[in-house]
Structure 1
Amino acid sequence: MKFPLFSSLYGRIFAIFWLTLLLVVFTLVLLPILDPRTQHTIPAPDLHRFQAAAQNIGLRLAEARGPAGQRLQQLTHDSRRKGFQLYFTSTEGEIIAPDGRNKALRNFITMADDPAKPRQRLYGRWMMAGPFQVDAQPAPVLMYVGRIWHRPPPFFIQILDKPLQLLLVTMLVSTPLLLWLAWAVTIPARRLQQAAERVATGQFEADPTLEAGPREFRQAGASFNQMVRAINQTISGQQRLLSDISHELRSPLTRLRMATALAKRKQGDSAELARIDTEAERLEKMISELLELSRMQSNGQGQREHTDAGSLWLEMLEDARFEAEQCQKQLDYGTLEAWPLCGNPGLLISALENVVRNAIKYGRETIQIRFQPGADHLEIWIDDDGEGVPDSELGDIFRPFYRVSTARDRSSGGTGLGLAITDSAIRQHNGTVSASRSPLGGLQIRLTLPLDTTPA
């Protein structure tokens, strides 16, 4: 059964506030009833005993001789030796016995002066009770009884009298309520945080558990899931559009290349036909790389595996070293160990391969690759001794279709998508990519990837 009051975060705070307020009110109402320092009715056993004592004293006074005041003084003196104290006043409140000033008695008789309704009240450790009517001659008198109170005060009275204990009890009472409130708030907040982190890594999946808990978090979770679905629809629409464009462009490109081949067969080779065939080939390559980038951005979270740097890149680096040697260049990748990684193997291989082949293409003689592991991440440095990139353009080379005018023009055969693919793949694995001027004189690319810290 669900209570509407607790479906809202504000409702839960409101409920805790009122529950605390009810506890305070209950304590304030209960305090006068249980506090012996306020006036109370006398328990029945004590009441009967005091009334019998008053009746007995009246009989003794009737049998005794001498002035009544003197006899009452003697009774108060005798009672003191028995561990309690008797007080006698006139019906008008004038103290008859014992002699001397008594603040507790004077305060008590101002509030308790009706023998038909005797009361009791605690003054420190001294309990006053009365009045009880004593029939004496020539006029009745009122008797009050004072005695040492040996019972400890109620537990909560002791707490209220000691601020530190009161603070401790308040914390003990309020802590479970506050912990419950914190739990009610942090559980859905943590779920929302985890969902946001998944989206930040490219996992655009709706989470039904976000739509549970307090009403405010349910609304936020529903909006978050709606946003994720909208992003998925946008990405899917973009992917379908690119696939359709690719299909529509490849058909005329195929016919164009077939027509070029037929023209070559009939007319022989010519510079014009060679240029047409080259541009068609470049256009087809560009479309393929663009589709690869699109698929990477939309499906980069699939097929993630626990792997290591050695088994992931060793074969690719050996092939790159052989390719560099064929171009009369030297490639050195230092030490490659089995540092743990988690991700899509195809994307991680493609990310490093694009940078390495770029360095081979534009380097003059030397390409250096260094691996530097840290506490929770792996850094990869790729340096070449080519012409490099102007400092003003270092931040732009990871943009799709961007070409540096000095080294990456159309005559180089590049499409401007290789580094964009690297940037997309690394960022989908929560890594970073940056470019700077290399100590060798060319371009330096720095890749950073998080190491896999999950237990095997």
Structure 2
Amino acid sequence: MRIFRKLNPINSLFGKTFLWFWLAAILLGVVGAWLAKQTHSDYSIKPLNDNNINRIEKLASRIELNAERFPDAELNRLLGRAGQRNKDALLLVEQQSKRFIYGFPREMMPLEEPFLELMNESQPFMIRTTSGNFFGPFEITLNEQNYFLFAGKPRPPNLVRQLIRTNPVALAVSVLLVSGSLCALFVWSLLSPIRQLQKSARKVASGDLTQHLGFASKRGDEIGELGRDFNSMTQRLSDLIGGQKRLVADISHELRSPLARLQLAIGIAQNQKEQLPDAIEKQLLRIEKEAQQIDSMIGQVLRLSRLEADVAVEDRQLVSLKNCFTELFNDAAFEAQNSGKELILGDIPELTLYCYPNLLKSAVGNVISNGIKYCSTKVEVSISNLTTRLQVTVKDDGQGVPNSDLEDMFKPFYRLSASRNRDTGGIGLGLAIVKQAVKVHGGEVTAVNSEDGGLTVNITIPINQY
């Protein structure tokens, strides 16, 4: 199928561009030829028969008679009055000045060239033009002025000719609008799927793997192939990441059973009636501590897996912010006191928030615990009601974090430095859980290095969520 597309130029982007170009060229050529035909005035001059000679003589006599009766009348009115009986269109050409006088509307006037050409002829001729058929000239004297009389049947002007004579700017604008519309349609047919692909790619980059291109993937050119490849890529990524999350969750869940048996065995060994040697007792205590750390790690992995999979860990509730954070801040103050650090707490706004209370307390508490752990002397916590969003700011006076790690520190299992081992820096899941917990609330968490030293973490959550 792809070989056929490559062989068929119409299905390629280059082929479509080439086809559009030639269609536009052909259309412009046809329009140009049509306009040229409409604006070009061909004419032919042929001998006049006796009937028309007699007719123009009678018309000349009628005009002269009317001029004698109405010497003050304008000549164009005399021409119109004389031609009313047989609906003739009459015009005069002044012999000396070559000035044209029309007895019919000026928008119906024909090309002047053939009339000027016949002014030196001694007999009348038939003039056939695109504007109608006329015959003449016939010399006539009106008010002691010599004129040449022409009579005929002009055709009503077509729209193009009328626009050229009355409003050429409107005609030019119309042509530009037609050609511009064709070009805009062609450009839109290229840019629309590209913009759709760009928008979906940005969402995929932000972590949304549910993106699927519709119209762009149904085209038969290279953009369509790119759209189909994009859909296949996002589907494959979604399957791989989903499988990875399920694998981690399943393994963590399965580890819980042998870990529980290990802890049970440790408890049984420690409760033996016989006194165990000190060396064995120390080893059992060490094994118990490691088992507790493994259990904590597995709990964090399971919690993170549920959050990433959008599995609700609790029901959303409408709670008072003060009731939600009071106990959390008391525990944090106790933790800071035991560590020899100072915890400065701001006022809690009188606010009711629709949230997952335990999840929100866990996120804020984790950030405060990190601040207490890595600060030098103190941690400052402030809560601001920004009308539409709630902002919790945790600022410590520690060494800060390298700028290159400010975004990566919220990734699972990411360690800021090699010096932070499991005892000092954890396993790298705490901040990842914070990020997912805040994301569940529709908010975001960011970290910046303070100008006066230390790290500042901001948690922002929308207030009106129900």
Which residue does 1:444 correspond to in 2? 455
Structure 2: how far apart are the matches of 1:351 and 1:204? 25
Which residue does 1:166 correspond to in 2? 171
CA deviation string 1:196-217 (max 9, x = no partner): 4543443321436355664455
Which residue does 1:415 correspond to in 2? 427
CA deviation string 1:21-42 (max 9, x = no partner): 455444444445544x612579
Q: 1:169 offset after TM fit, Å? A: 1.7
Q: 1:259 offset after TM fit, Å? A: 2.8
1:278 aligns with 2:286: no
Q: 1:293 offset after TM fit, Å? A: 3.1
Which residue does 1:352 correspond to in 2? 364
Q: 1:355 offset after TM fit, Å? A: 0.5
Structure 1: how far apart are the matches of 2:383 and 2:418? 30
Q: Specify whether residues 201 and 372 from structure 1 end up closer, same or farther in structure 2 by C-alpha distance, changes over 3 A only.
A: farther
Which residue does 2:129 correspond to in 1? 120
Q: Specify whether residues 351 and 14 from structure 1 end up closer, same or farther in structure 2 by C-alpha distance, changes over 3 A only.
A: farther
1:220 aligns with 2:233: no
Q: Specify whether residues 204 and 419 from structure 1 end up closer, same or farther in structure 2 by C-alpha distance, changes over 3 A only.
A: same
Which of these residues, 38, 42, 46, is aligned with residue 39 of structure 1?
42
What aligned pairs does 1:93-172 form with structure 2 within 5 A after superposition? Answer: 104-105=113-114, 108=117, 118-120=127-129, 129-130=134-135, 146=150, 153-160=157-164, 164-172=169-177
CA contact (8 A) 2:9 2:15 kept: yes
Q: 1:277 offset after TM fit, Å? A: 0.7
Gaps of 5+ in 1: 61-71, 88-96, 134-143
AA of the residue aligned to 1:272:
Q
Which residue does 2:144 correspond to in 1? none
AA of the residue aligned to 2:129:
Q
Structure 1: how far apart are the matches of 2:228 and 2:252? 36
CA contact (8 A) 1:389 1:437 kept: no
Structure 1: how far apart are the matches of 2:368 and 2:200? 35
Structure 2: how far apart are the matches of 1:158 and 1:304? 77
The TM-score normalised by the length of structure 2 is: 0.62
Which residue does 1:67 correspond to in 2? none
Query: Alignment identity in percent?
Result: 26
CA contact (8 A) 1:336 1:371 kept: yes
SS of the aligned residue for 2:330 comes to: helix
CA contact (8 A) 2:43 2:114 kept: no
Which one has more relative contact order, counting CA pairs under 8 Å at least 6 apart?
1
1:241 aligns with 2:247: yes
Q: 1:146 offset after TM fit, Å? A: 3.4
CA contact (8 A) 1:434 1:446 kept: yes
Q: Specify whether residues 307 and 154 from structure 1 end up closer, same or farther in structure 2 by C-alpha distance, changes over 3 A only.
A: farther
Which residue does 1:319 correspond to in 2? 327
AA of the residue aligned to 1:290:
V
Q: Specify whether residues 85 and 324 from structure 1 end up closer, same or farther in structure 2 by C-alpha distance, changes over 3 A only.
A: closer
CA contact (8 A) 1:351 1:426 kept: yes
Which residue does 1:92 correspond to in 2? none
CA deviation string 1:44-92 (max 9, x = no partner): xxx999862325679x9xxxxxxxxxxx9x99999997745689xxxxx
Structure 2: how far apart are the matches of 1:128 and 1:234? 83
Q: 1:235 offset after TM fit, Å? A: 0.8
Which of these residues, 322, 336, 349, is aligned with residue 349 of structure 2?
336
Count of aligned pairs between the two proteins: 401
